[in-house]
């Protein structure tokens, strides 16, 4: 296995941060005929950008994973086809992030109450906001799970006497449960078909219906689904002993994670943030 991190433009940060970035990006994994590959680059602010393809020369292979197709693989564990060592390295990256460690209790409670897999919530948040609770999209989606205010209201979030709806959505204790309830709704709506639920989270329920209950033909949505699924496979729980170690404290790092999608035209770029 060869390290691919040498091709990434790493930010000028502490030696510990540079070692973390180099270590996590040495993850070119198992080869095969069809893969859910994930590419990444670290920008000057220390933010790791993910994409399911090499969008430009800045991107290097973060990991190579098996293809997941909900129509054929629905009965298989989401972590099938990945090695424990590879998954441990990917998971250790998240454990180094203070923002993830801060959000972890909210993810656990939301997973228990909604029935949505913890690892799936983790993959969605990493893709949506990079665990930045103050994230605001150009379309007005807010917080860790990038909820539009109208969607949040559908799933139980409201302004209080002390806080506006926007302030509520920047609170992980409010945002994560609401996002989990929305994702649970989508999973039930599309009969547990994970790819369709994720497509609807990005493009809207109506877009998936109009596409004949298939992933809509929007490059942004297709890339979004690929990225969440690729992370989800790698974030599946390890053996009990390894899982117990992975949730312990770890040295702090200042990097965040953010998903980057190719720019699309107005005709082929549609998401739930604009459907409201």
> Phi-psi region for residue 115, left (φ > 0), alpha (ψ -120 to 50) or beta?
left
Residue bearing tokens 């992933």: 215
User: Which of 71, 128, 153, 195 does the annotation list as catalytic?
Assistant: 128
What φ, ψ does residue 259 adopt, rounded to 5°? -80, 140
Assigned token pair, 101 = 């460690």
Do residues 254 and 13 make contact, with C-beta atoms less than 8 angstroms apart? Answer: yes
128 among known catalytic residues: yes
**Residues contacting 274, CB < 8 A, separation 6+:** 139
Nearest by Cα to 200 from 142, 257, 273: 273
**Residues contacting 191, CB < 8 A, separation 6+:** none
Catalytic sites, residue numbers: 128
């Amino acid at each position: 296995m060869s390290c691919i991190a040498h091709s990434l433009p790493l930010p000028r940060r502490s030696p510990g941060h540079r070692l973390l970035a180099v270590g996590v990006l040495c993850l070119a994994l198992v080869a095969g005929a069809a893969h859910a590959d994930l590419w990444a680059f670290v920008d000057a602010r220390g933010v790791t950008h993910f994409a399911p393809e090499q969008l430009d020369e800045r991107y290097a292979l973060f990991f190579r994973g098996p293809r997941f197709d909900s129509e054929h693989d629905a009965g298989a564990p989401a972590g099938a086809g990945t090695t424990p060592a590879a998954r441990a390295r990917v998971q250790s990256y998240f454990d180094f992030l203070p923002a993830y460690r801060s959000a972890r209790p909210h993810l656990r409670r939301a997973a228990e109450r909604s029935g949505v897999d913890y690892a799936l919530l983790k993959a969605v948040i990493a893709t949506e906001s990079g665990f930045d609770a103050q994230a605001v999209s150009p379309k007005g989606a807010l917080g860790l799970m990038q909820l539009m205010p109208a969607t949040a209201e559908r799933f139980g979030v409201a302004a209080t006497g002390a806080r506006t709806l926007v302030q509520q959505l920047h609170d992980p204790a409010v945002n994560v449960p609401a996002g989990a309830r929305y994702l649970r709704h989508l999973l039930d709506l599309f009969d547990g078909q994970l790819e369709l639920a994720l497509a609807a989270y990005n493009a809207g329920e109506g877009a998936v219906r109009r596409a004949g209950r298939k992933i809509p033909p929007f490059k942004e949505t297709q890339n979004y689904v690929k990225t969440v699924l690729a992370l989800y496979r790698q974030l599946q729980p390890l053996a009990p002993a390894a899982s117990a170690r992975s949730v312990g404290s770890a040295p702090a790092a200042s990097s965040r994670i953010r998903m980057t999608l190719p720019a699309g035209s107005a005709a082929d770029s549609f998401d739930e943030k604009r459907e409201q």
